[in-house]
Amino acid sequence: MQFELLPDADAVAARAAQFIAATARDSVRARGRFVFAVSGGRTPWLMLRLLAREDVPWPDVHVVQVDERLAPANDPDRNLTHLHETLLLLSPLAPEHLYAMPVEATDTTAASRGYAATLQALAGTPPVLDLVHLGLGADGHTASLVPGDPVLDVSDADVAVTESYLGRRRMTLTYPIIDRARHILWVVTGADKVTALAQLRAGNRAIPGGRVCTDNATILADRLAAPLA
């Protein structure tokens, strides 16, 4: 696992945008496309705004979701709402290259299988994503892999639906597909992440984030999240 400490959240967002753009260029040169899974959060939305200004081979970029709340279209809680406001509004990403999790479906279990099939069509069987961007909650969760949820033990599906967490059920990528990714980029900012980040760096499997494979992982953190680093 690589670790980079930056002064503040803005610097983390800028470095993350540069990292993603460089990985996109490398992926397109090597395989002809870049399949990127993105999470939500305040710093990531800034990261995506900055990514829109980077040198990115946009015609060959495909963006999928790491997780999404089961909420109506255009709901401010939806990560997709913010993806539209950042990547689609500010970059030349083709709208058909943004693959929304089907969280409005009546049968979300069947919908999660359908999304897994979409990932296979994009990234092979089993799908290997070029880059998975992850955040870290103060409770150690990442994606929508939250403490105590049965989804933590899913090993036979790449996409699953959680129980309620902070008032919403969610659809999420699971450990198997996250761990197969060629690159994992952690973006961690804020003083409320100090304990969780220390546990993540120590590989503490007591938190959900600590169970993610570290072989191809990079952490970008600010000084608030890692004051003693």
pLDDT of residue 228: 84
pLDDT of residue 55: 97
Q: What is the rounded CA–CA span in Å between residue 193 and residue 229?
A: 13
pLDDT of the chain, 229 residues: tens digit per residue: 999 999 999 999 999 999 999 999 999 999 999 999 999 888 999 999 999 999 999 999 999 999 999 988 888 889 999 999 999 999 999 999 999 999 999 999 999 999 999 999 999 999 999 999 999 999 999 999 999 999 999 999 999 999 988 888 999 999 999 999 999 999 999 999 999 999 999 999 999 999 999 999 999 999 999 998 7
pLDDT of residue 41: 86
pLDDT of residue 148: 95
Q: What is the rounded CA–CA span in Å between residue 173 and residue 65?
A: 8
- Domains located in the chain, CATH noted: 2-170+181-210 (3.40.50.1360)
